[in-house]
Structure 1
Amino acid sequence: MKMRFWLLDVASEAEGGKPFIWLWCKGEDLSTWVVKQRYTPSFYLTGRIEAAAQKLKSSSVRFERCSRRVRGKPVQALKIYVDAEDLEKAASRLLKGLNGVEVYEEDLRSSTKYLLESGLRPCGWIEVDGEVVQRFDGVSFIKPRSIKRLEHAPPPSLTAVAIDPVFFAEHGSPTPERDPVRLVSLYFSDGFRVQLEGDEREIFEKLIEAIGERDPDIVVGFGLNRIQWNYLSERAKKLGIRLMVGRLGSEPRTSVYGHVSIRGRLNIDLEDMARDIPELTIETLEEFVNYLGIKKEFDSIDEHELAEKWKSDKDLVKRYSMQRAEAIMAAYEAVKDFIFSLSELTGMPADYILTASAGFRVESYLMTHAVRVGELIPKRMEIRHVTYPGGLVKAPEPGIHENVAVVDFRSMYPSLMIKYNISFDTLSPDGENVAPNGYRFKASPEGFLPNVLKTLLRERRAIQSRLKELDPESVEAKVLDARQRAVKIITNAIYGYTGWIGARWYTREVAEATTAWGREVINSSMKKAEELGMTVIYSDTDSLFLKNYEGRLEKFMEWIERELGLEAKVDEVFKRVIFTEA
C-alpha cells in the first residue's frame, strides 16, 4: 500500500534496548500516522583503521569500508554500526585503547542521523509503501518497505491550539512550589475557544481532556519553552497529575536547544521568534503582533498587576488572557509558512527551528549537503573567541539631504565567497586567490561552501521566477515566498557561521577573508562613485547612500557588474533623508 504523508516530526524511540525511528505524519485526509522503522545508528573512523578493523571483527561489530572526505581531503574510513541509544558512549567503549584514530558523527542524535542518511526533511511530503500494523488511540502505525521524499508542496491544513496560562503570586514572582494555575485560555484554529478556571485539579483535567479530544497537531504559545510548560508540569506533578498533552498519553519533556517536546505534536513558542528580531526592543506579545502588522486590541495588564486585578476585576483578566490566545493564533497563522519552510530547508524539526540559533540552523543545512557529497561531519571543538573586522561603515553626514539613491549589493558576501572560492577546504598557503588581509584560497576545485551557496542562490532565483507567474494571494505563492525568505536567511548567514566558535566547520580565516574582500568592494565603489561626480553620504557593509546620482547611476551600476563581477540594485530613492548627530 502506497500512501502520501506530510512529515510532522521525527523521534528516536527505544524498544527492548533497540533504537527505532518514529516518523510522525499527517495523511492527506489529516489522519495521524507513525511510520515506525528499525534503525541502527552509525559513526565513522579514520586514521589507523586497520588496527580498528581487527578489533571490531574480534568483537563481531558490523562495519564497512568507505571513501569519504575530511575538510575536502579524501580519506579511507570505517562506517561502524552500533545498536545503542547513546552512540557516543558506545563508540568510546568500543574504541578504548585504540590510538591514531579520529571519530566522526558519533555525537549526532539518532533522529538527526536518520534524516541526514535518508534525505527526508521535516515539514515535507513523503511517499510510504508499507503495511498498517496497528491502530491505537487515534494513531495508525505503518511498517514501511520504502520511503521516498516528494517534491516541495504546500502543507496540509494542520489543526492548532493557542494556549495562554495565567499564574501569579500575591507578592513577588510566582513559583510552581507555591502558586497555583488560576486560568488557562485555549483558542483553536477552527475558532473554538474555552477558558478553564476554578479548582486547579479540575483545570488540569479539563486541559488534558480538551487537547486529547480535539487532538491538535500544533500547540502554539508565547513563553511556553522559557517558563510556561515547566510551570504547568511542576504544578501538575504537585497535584499528582500526569500532564498528558502529547499523543499516546505522553507528557512534555525538555529537549535540545532549551525546547520542550510534546510527542506527536509541534510545540511552537513564538517568543523564541520575537527574541530573534533585532527591531523588537521589548519582546512582548503585544509588540510582536504589532511588528507583524496584525491589528489586535489588548486590555493590557502588567504581570505585577495580575494578583490585584484577579481580585478586583476577574473578567478583565479573563478577557485579556483570551485576547492573548487569539493574538497568538493570528501571529502563528502569519508566520507558519515561514517556519515550515525554514524547517524543510534546514532539516530541523519545526519546533526546534525557532529555539535554535542562526548558527545551528546553518549547520543543519550544511550537514545535509555534507552527507550528499561524502564530507564527514566534525565534532565541535573548544575554541577561544577571537574578534575579527566586519563590514565597512562610513558614518552618515549629519543634516538634511535631498534626492538620495540607495544602492544595495545583492548577496555581497555569498557572491564574494563564490567568486574567490572561499571555503574551509580551499584555504591553502599556495592558493591563487589572495584576500586583502593575506589569506589565500585555491581557485579550483570548487569548495564546499561555494557549492552550497550556488545551490541556494539557484533555488532562490527559481522561486522568484515562479512567483512572477502566480497570483500573489494564492496558497502556492505564499508558501513559495516563505521558502525564498528562508533560503535568503540561510544564504546570508553562511559566512558568519564560519567565524562562530560553536561551528563544527569553524574557520575564522574564511569569515575574515570574506569581510576583507567586502571592505575592498565598498572602498573601491565609493571611490568610483566620487569619480563619477556622486557624493557618498553614508555606507554600511553592502550599501551606499548617494547624492547627485542623476545621469550617473546607470554608468556606476554597469561598472559594478563589469569590473567587480557583482550585482547591485537601486533599493530605494528618497526625496529627503535626515541624519542626526550620533
Structure 2
Amino acid sequence: MERLRFWLLDLNYEVRSGRPEMWLWGVTEDGPRVLLIDDRRWPRFYLLPREDADVEGLQVQVTAQGQRLKDFVAARVAERRWQGRPRRVIEVQTRAVDAAAMGRLAQAFRKIPGIETALEDDIRWSVQYLLDCQLTPSTWWACLFEPMEGLDRPAAEAGLRVGRVVAEDPALVDETLPPPDLRFVAWGMLPWQAEGIMLPERDPVVIIGLYDGQTCYVLTGEERSLLEQFLAIWSRLQPDVVFGYGVNRWDWPYLLERFHRHGLALAVGRDGSEPHPSLYGHISITGRANVDVLDFATEISEVKLETLERVARYLGLATDFEEWDDWTWAQRWKQDPAAARAWFERRLQTLWQVSQEFWHYAVELSRLTGIPLDQVGPAAAGFRVEHFLLREARRAGELAPKRREQPYVPYVGGYVLEPRLGIHENVAVLDFKSMYPTLMLLYNISPDTYVPPSEKVSADEVFQAPTTGHRFRKHPDGVYRTVLRRLLEARQAIKERRRRLPPDGPHARLLAAQEKAVKVITNAVYGYAGWPGARWYARPVAEAAADWGRWTIRQAIEWAGELGLTVIYGDTDSLFVVHEPDRIRALIDRIRSRLQMDIELERVYRRILFTEAKKRYAGLTEAGTLDIVGLEVVRGDWAPVAQEIQEAVLTAVLRDRDVDRAVGIVRSAVQDLRAGRMDWRKLVIWKTLTKRPDEYKANTPHVAAAQVLLERGHRLTAGNKVGYVVLRGTGPLYRRVAPYPFVPVDRIDVEYYVQNQVIPAAGRILNVLGVPESRLLP
C-alpha cells in the first residue's frame, strides 16, 4: 500500500461480479499513467418522508420491501437539507448504475404510504460519485493505493499502473497547481467521394493524421493498411488529451464504421475499448480526454461560421491555412494529391495552435464545474451551471430537486431605451458589472427563499420586487446567493493574484483562464434560473431578477439626467452617454453608494452610429477599430457580399467621415454584381438547421436546400449549417434555391442580391444619414 498523488484526467464506471466500480484515470507526478479502482461505494438516492411521518418506521418498511427487489442493497436514515430546511431522509443504496434502473427502484418505494417523493435518483452514478467524494476533475489528488496485477483487458495500454483506492476518499492536494506534463495529440481524417458526399458505409478514408506538436504523422494509401498504421502510431504516442475539430459528430463515428468494415477494432481507449457516445453528444475515449475544439469555438459570438480557418484568424494566429469544404477537398484530392496532403498537414498544425489557445480555459472550466474535460465543452451553459450548483448543494448537505421539463413561458426581460438616431461624437459606455448575478445576491433571489403570495410574512423579513411584487426572504442565504458569493469572491481573488504577476508569464495566462471560467459560469447563473429545464427553476426568480434590473437601469438614467449627462442609449445593463468625465465619475459614485452595484466606464467611442432599431449600432473605438453590434455584418444569415459592403460603408462614414465615398462603394458593388464580376461564393447564404429537415413544417430556403442535399446522399441533422444561393425564376423563394456547392452559376438571381441583400444592408446605415436608397443604385 502506498500514498499516490495523481491528476484526475477521466473517470468511468464498470460492473464486475455484480459490484459497481468507479475507475479513476490519472497522471502521476513522476509520469506513469494510473488507473485507480474504487469499489467502496454504492450508487444511491434519497426518499423524502412526509414531515409528520415516522422516519425509522419507514426505513424498516423500505428495507423489508427492498429485500424483495433485484437491485436493492440497504437503506438508512440520514440528515440532509431540503429547500433550505433540515430534514431526516432515507438513503437507499443500490446496485443500479444507470438512472433508468434507479428510477424504477425509486418509483417502487414512492408507493409506500408516508413517502412524499424520491430525490437524486435521476443523477448519474459517475456524477454522484464526484459529488459524494467532493472530487474535481483536472485537479491534483492523493489517496492510499493498493497495487494490483494489472488490467485484465488484452488491448490495455502497456505500462499502465493499476490499483485499488483503499480507506478514505481521495484528498485534495492543491487546486491551484497546474496540470502535469501531458501528452497531447491533434488528429483528423478525410474520406473521399467525387462530389464530396462521403458516406461511412461506402467511402474509404484516404488520409489520416496525428500531430504531437513536433512531428506530423500523415498516412495515405490502401485503407486497411492506413487504419492499422494509425493504431500503431496511436499506441506509440499514447496520448492523454486528443484534440479534434468537429470529431464528435463526424470523424470518430466515421472512423469507427470504417474500422468495423475491415473487421478491425478501433482500440484507442486506455483499457483497449473503442470510442463510444456519451453525455451531451460527445464521444468518450476511456482513460483519455477527447476534446472537440469546435465546442469551444462555437462560444465565440463574433465568429458566425465556425470554420477552423475563421477561428484561427479570430484568435490572431499566424497561419496560411485556408479551409476547404467537402466539395473543394474532393476536387483538390483528385487533381493534386500531393498538394492536398500538404494542406491536410497545415490543417493539423492549425488545429494544434487553436487547441492550445483553448486548453487552459477548458481545464479551468472543468475544475470549476466538476465536469470532466471531454464533457465540459459540449455541455450547454445550463448544464455547466447545474453541475456547479450540485457541488455547492452537496457541500451544504442540500438535496437536489428533480429536473422537470416545462413549457417555456416568456417574461418581461431587460429595459432598452430607444436610441437617438444618427452619428454621435465622443460617447462613453457605462457597464454594470455582472448586473443580474449581483441583483440575485443583493436581494437573495432564489427558489428556496421565494415566498408565495398566499404565505403571510412580515414586510421587514423580505425583499419585494418593484413591479412584479415577488418576495424573497432576507435570511437565510438561498442557494443562488451562496454560490454567487463564492464565485464573485473567487473572481476577485484571481484578479488580485494577476495584478501581482508579469502579464505575459505562464502563471498569469493560467489565472486569466481561471478568471474567464469563473466569469462565464457567474454570468450564466441568471440564464439558468430562467431555464424551465433547470433543477432549481422557479419562474418568479427570473422575473424578479429582470424586474430589479429594469428598475436599476431606469434609476441610473434618471440620475444621469439630474447630473446633466446626455443619455444616447440604454440597453439592459449598459448606458451610452456623452463623455463628460467629471459628471460620469459623479454618476458612478452615486450608483455604487446608493445601489451597491458595481458600474464602470467600459470604453469610449470616438464616433458611434445608431440605426432605427434597438441593439443595432456600430462604434469607432479610440484605438481606431470598429465595434459592430446586431448589424448584418456580424449576423450569420446574410450573404458575405452584404456583410462586406456594410462593413466598408461603416468604415467610410465612421473612420473616414465620408458619406459620398460610402455611396460610391455601394454603387460599385452593384455594378460588379450585375456585370458578373463578383465571386459567386460571396452570394452563399448560410443558415443552421435547428432540427432535422423532415421535422420542419414551414417551407424555407435553407430547408429546401437541405432536402436537395439529402436527395444527393448527404446526411443532415440539427446543428448542421446549410448554404444556398438564390436562382432566377418565378414562384416562392424556397423553390428558387440551389444548395452549396451545387450551384448553376449562370442562373444566379443577381437582382435578388442587389434588392434583398446589398441595398438593405447598406441602406440601414446610410438611410439614417439622409441618403435615400435611390442614390445607391447606378
Normalised-by-shorter TM-score class: over 0.9
In structure 2, C-alpha distance between the alignment counterparts of 1:215 and 1:36, rounded to whole Å: 21
Matched, 1:176 2:206: no
Structure with bigger RCO (C-alpha 8 Å, 6+ apart): 1
Aligned to 1:113, which of 89, 104, 128?
128
Larger displacement relative to structure 2 (151-160 or 213-222): 151-160
Partner of 1:19: 20
- d(CA) in 1 for partners of 2:182 and 2:395? 31
For residues 391 and 90 of structure 1, what CA distance do their matches in structure 2 show? 41
Deviations along 1:211-261, one digit per CA (max 9) or x if unpaired, are 111101011110111111111111111111101111121100000110100
- Report the equivalent of 2:42: 40
Task: Please give the per-residue CA displacement for 1:302-325, whole angstroms capped at 9, x wherever unaligned.
Answer: 311222211211122111211111
Matched to 1:47, the amino acid is P
2:242 aligned with 1:219? yes
Q: For the Cα contact (< 8 Å) 1:184–1:197, is it kept in 2?
A: yes
Which residue of 1 is the match for residue 31 of structure 2?
A: 30
**How far did residue 296 of structure 1 move?**
1.1
| Cα contact 1:22–1:34 (8 A) shared by 2 | yes
Q: Secondary structure at the match of 1:433?
A: strand
Q: Give the Å deviation of 1:506.
A: 1.1
Q: Which amino acid aligns with 1:127?
A: A
Q: In 1, distance between residues paired with 2:373 and 2:205?
A: 28
1:69 maps to 81
Residue equivalent to 2:389: 366
Distance 2:245 2:106 in 1: 45
Aligned residue runs from structure 1 range 129-528, under 5 A: 129-135=144-150, 137-145=158-166, 146=168, 147-152=170-175, 153-171=177-195, 173-189=197-213, 191-428=214-451, 429=453, 430=457, 432-436=462-466, 437-528=468-559
* 8 Å Cα contact 2:59/2:77 also seen in 1: no
> Structure 1, unaligned stretches of length 5 or more?
none
Which AA in structure 1 matches 2:165?
P
Aligned CA-pair RMSD: 1.7
Q: Which residue of 1 aligns with 2:668?
A: none
Question: C-alpha displacement at 1:574, in angstroms?
Answer: 2.4
Displacement of 1:168 in angstroms is: 3.0
CA contact (8 A) 1:399 1:578 kept: yes
List per-residue Cα deviations over 1:142-183 (Å, max 9, x = no partner): 222332012221111211111121113223621111111110
Residue range with higher mean Cα deviation, 371-380 or 466-475 = 466-475
The offset of 1:129, in angstroms, is 2.1
In the alignment, structure 2 segments of 5+ residues that lack a partner are 68-72, 152-157, 614-778
Task: Determine the C-alpha separation between the residues in 1 that align with 2:280 and 2:579.
Answer: 50
Please tell me whether residue 85 in structure 1 is matched to residue 97 in structure 2. Answer: yes
How far apart are the structure 1 equivalents of 2:557 and 2:106? 60
The structure 1 residue matched to 2:119, chosen from 101, 104, 123, is: 104
The count of corresponding residues between Structure 1 and Structure 2 is 581
| 1:82-112 deviation digits (Å, cap 9, x = unpaired) | 1233354245246524244311111211111
| Contact 1:35 1:142 (8 Å CA) reproduced | yes
Which of the numbers 565, 573, 578 marks the counterpart of 2:609? 578
Letter in 2 for 1:364: H
Give the letter for the 2:89 counterpart. A
- CA distance in 2 between counterparts of 1:52 and 1:64 reads 10
Aligned partner of 2:208: which letter? V
The 1:224–1:487 alpha-carbon spacing in structure 2 relative to 1, beyond 3 Å, is same
Equivalent residue letter for 2:184: A
Matched letter for residue 204 of structure 2: P
1:299 CA drift (Å): 4.2
Q: Which deviations, in whole Å up to 9, do the C-alpha atoms of 1:249-294 show, x marking residues without a partner? A: 1100000110100011100001112223222111111111112221
User: Does the 8 Å CA contact 2:276/2:284 hold for their aligned counterparts?
Assistant: yes
Q: Distance in 1 between matches of 2:581 and 2:178?
A: 45
